[in-house]
């Protein structure tokens, strides 16, 4: 199966996540009662697929995707777009200014992950005493997604409400914040259970499903974020020693449509280009769920006579998510030509390849946040979209959310922090060698080795939403972002005002510092 997008009309789910009192008095129509729904294996499978559907929506919802929101605070990307007011809520996140508690993109990210958690809770609760043959796998997948969602939430928001049961009505919706430490313990408990019941990647029948290796990799990542480096190493080693996981030989192939769900991909969201979405017929659901990836068009090099990219075999997009000059310099300083060409293209390189830039519309520091380069990673490639119809609405480019290269770099960090420099260099060199770079010198050790790992992550994971959150946990944000509008309050996003309004266990005193 090449790729799958899931849309499940799981109406009973919306009752359990709503804080609206209507659901307590008006039972939903045309749905099966909860007491009998989870007695059938097909229904259990439908519910699990609904979780995949929700996590995909969270990362791809119109202007508010977690994929885009997570990467904007980093120093590898600018929001860009048409002008400083183009999707102002995204510009605010990018510039660290005026980030409000009512920022609609941040609200959507919060709501998307909690919706995923709610449906996961529904599955876990209703399968506790089940004897169905798919109980263990379904429960494991639900626990994985609950763990993934809480890890994303606590990374972006810090202490958050931890919901492990379903509210029976609006009066049960109140839930105070739990500390990050408590949430980490729950994440690890869920991942321990998931690892025990999930299959290895090579044995997973459907390539979009989560695997044991993915759960092990996430466990290792959580432990690194906790600073428990020695504890994380066995989980990374389990992934590294599994032959089902490896790097693609060519770094440019990582994002190729021909390598979707490939050996380097641990967690990937699939999209398709064959649904024929269009504007006129209203088939595109801008603001909801679609089977195509609208964000590829959103992030492609802007048209309007600004970037001429036709000779490159690239289509024009809407101009969001442009590379920073800092990232360009980092590639050049490292002599990293292969990975640079798979990530971005400078203006000089664009012109040399037969393309062009209108300097009157796009100049350094202009309203489009243009700093002399366009992005190639996740760009608008003709082969990734429909050959006819409204091409900008039908990209089938998958989002790779967790890659084997990241596992190697996390492992290198863990080994380095645990005083095992030789093992750290070994994992680091695998990533460097794939990029055409020589081994790191054996004399590079201690803090210098850690610095090398930090720089390697900057280059390898550019425009993948990891950079800013790493800078925060490393205590390097204030240094690396000193020339921006960043302040320490930006280490976390604000808890949405809508959550404080509806959750009676929270008050304004629970808001993150500075908001």
Return the bridge partners of 345, or none.
374
SS3 382: helix
6-25 pLDDT, tens per residue? 434 343 444 344 343 333 33
* Percent of the chain at pLDDT exceeding 90: 82
Tokens of residue 208, six digits: 């979009």
Using CA atoms, how far apart are residues 23 and 16, in angstroms rounded to an integer? 8
- 26, pLDDT greater than 60: no
Q: Is the pLDDT of residue 31 over 70?
A: no
What are the tokens at 381?
A: 């490639």
Domains, in order of start, for the chain: 11-197+498-510 (1.25.40.390), 300-379 (no CATH), 402-491 (1.25.40.900)
What number is the average pLDDT over the span 327-355? 97
On the question of pLDDT at 443 being above 90, the answer is: yes
The helix/strand/coil state of 112 is helix
If you average pLDDT over residues 226-244, what whole number do you get?
Answer: 98
pLDDT the model gives residue 288: 77
Residue 363's pLDDT band, with cuts at 50, 70 and 90, is low
- Cα R_g (the chain), whole angstroms: 22
Given pLDDT bands bounded at 50, 70 and 90, which one contains residue 361?
A: confident
Tokens standing for residue 484:
């921006």
Phi, psi of 323 (to 5 degrees): -70, 155
pLDDT of residue 27: 43
Question: What pLDDT is recorded for position 168?
Answer: 78
Residue found under tokens 């995923």: 116
- Find the mean pLDDT for residues 141-165: 98
Among candidate residues 145, 136, 147, 119, the one with its CA nearest the CA of residue 50: 119
Burial (0-12, 13-18, 19+ Cβ within 10 Å), 315: buried
Give me 201's structure tokens: 């990647």
| pLDDT for residue 279 is more than 90 | no
Assign 487 a pLDDT band (cuts: 50, 70, 90): very high
Q: What percent of the chain has pLDDT over 70?
A: 93
Other Cβ atoms less than 10 A from the Cβ of 189: the count is 12
Of residues 311, 288, 291, 287, the one with CA closest to residue 301: 311
Lowest mean pLDDT among 206-220, 255-269, 367-381: 367-381
Query: Which of 235-239, 357-361, 366-370, 443-447 is predicted least confidently?
Result: 366-370
Confidence of residue 387 (pLDDT cuts 50, 70, 90): confident
Q: Are 395 and 273 in contact (CB under 8 A)?
A: yes
Here the tokens at position 57 are: 């929506």
Is the pLDDT reported for residue 403 higher than 50?
yes
Predicted pLDDT at 13: 46
Cβ contacts of 110 within 8 Å, gap of 6 or more: 153, 157, 495, 496, 499
What phi and psi values does residue 506 have, to the nearest 5 degrees? Answer: -115, 150
Is 266 in a helix, a strand, or coil?
Answer: strand
CA distance 66 to 85: 20
Cβ–Cβ < 8 Å for 251, 435: yes
Tokens of 221: 């990542």
pLDDT, mean over the chain: 91
Q: What is the mean pLDDT of residues 301-326?
A: 94
Q: What mean pLDDT is predicted for residues 64-87? A: 94
Per-residue CA distances from 269 to 4, 9, 53, 284, 357 (Å): 8, 19, 9, 19, 33
- Please give the Cα distance from 67 to 368 (Å, whole number): 20
Dist CA 3 CA 431 (whole Å):
27
| Beta-carbon-side half-sphere exposure of residue 434 (alpha carbons within 13 Å) | 23
- Least confident interval from 18-32, 314-328, 383-397: 18-32
pLDDT at 87 over 90: yes
Q: What is the pLDDT of residue 166?
A: 85
Q: Which residue, among 515, 455, 502, has the nearest Cα to 75 in the 3D structure?
A: 455
Q: How many CB atoms neighbour CB 475 within 10 A?
A: 9
pLDDT at 300 > cutoff 90: yes
pLDDT at 287: 76
């Amino acid at each position: 199966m090449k790729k799958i997008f899931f849309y499940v009309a799981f109406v009973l789910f919306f009752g359990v996540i709503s804080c609206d009192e209507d659901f307590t008095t008006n039972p939903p129509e045309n749905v099966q009662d909860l007491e009998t729904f989870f007695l059938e294996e097909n229904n259990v499978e439908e519910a699990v697929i609904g979780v995949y559907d929700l996590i995909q929506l969270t990362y791809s919802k119109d202007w508010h995707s977690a994929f885009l929101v997570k990467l904007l605070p980093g120093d590898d990307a600018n929001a860009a777009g048409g002008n400083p007011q183009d999707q102002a809520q995204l510009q605010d996140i990018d510039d660290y200014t005026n980030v409000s508690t009512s920022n609609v993109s941040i609200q959507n990210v919060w709501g998307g992950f909690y919706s995923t958690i709610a449906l996961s809770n529904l599955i876990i609760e209703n399968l506790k005493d089940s004897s169905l043959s798919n109980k263990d796998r379904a429960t494991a997948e639900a626990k994985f997604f609950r763990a993934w969602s809480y890890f994303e939430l606590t990374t972006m928001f810090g202490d958050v409400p931890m919901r492990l049961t379903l509210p029976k009505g609006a009066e049960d919706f109140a839930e105070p914040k739990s500390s990050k430490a408590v949430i980490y313990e729950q994440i690890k408990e869920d991942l321990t259970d998931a690892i025990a019941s999930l299959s290895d990647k090579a044995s997973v029948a459907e390539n979009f499903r989560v695997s044991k290796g993915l759960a092990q990799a996430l466990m290792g990542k959580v432990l690194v974020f906790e600073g428990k480096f020695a504890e994380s190493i066995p989980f990374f080693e389990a992934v590294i020693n599994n032959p089902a996981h490896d790097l693609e030989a060519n770094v440019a192939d990582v994002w190729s449509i021909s390598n979707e769900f490939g050996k380097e991909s641990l967690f990937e969201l699939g999209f398709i280009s064959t649904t024929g979405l269009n504007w006129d017929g209203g088939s595109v659901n801008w603001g909801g769920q679609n089977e195509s990836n609208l964000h590829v068009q959103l992030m492609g090099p802007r048209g309007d006579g600004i970037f001429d990219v036709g000779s490159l075999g690239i289509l024009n997009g809407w101009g969001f998510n442009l590379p920073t000059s800092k990232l360009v310099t980092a590639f050049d300083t490292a002599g990293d030509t292969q990975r640079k060409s798979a990530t971005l293209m400078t203006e000089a390189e664009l012109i040399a390849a037969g393309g062009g830039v209108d300097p009157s519309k796009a100049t350094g520091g202009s309203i489009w946040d243009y700093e002399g380069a366009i992005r190639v990673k996740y760009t608008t490639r003709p082969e990734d979209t429909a050959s006819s119809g409204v091409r900008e609405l039908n990209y089938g480019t998958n989002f790779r959310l967790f890659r084997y290269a990241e596992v190697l770099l996390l492992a290198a960090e863990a080994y380095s922090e645990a005083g095992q420099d030789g093992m750290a260099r070994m994992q680091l060199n695998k990533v460097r060698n794939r990029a055409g770079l020589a081994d790191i010198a054996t004399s590079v050790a201690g803090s210098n080795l850690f610095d090398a790992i930090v720089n390697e992550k900057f280059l390898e994971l550019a425009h993948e939403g990891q950079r800013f959150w790493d800078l925060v946990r490393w205590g390097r944000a204030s240094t690396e972002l000193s020339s921006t509008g960043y302040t320490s309050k930006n280490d976390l996003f604000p808890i949405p005002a809508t959550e404080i309004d509806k959750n009676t266990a929270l008050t304004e005193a629970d808001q993150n510092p500075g908001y």
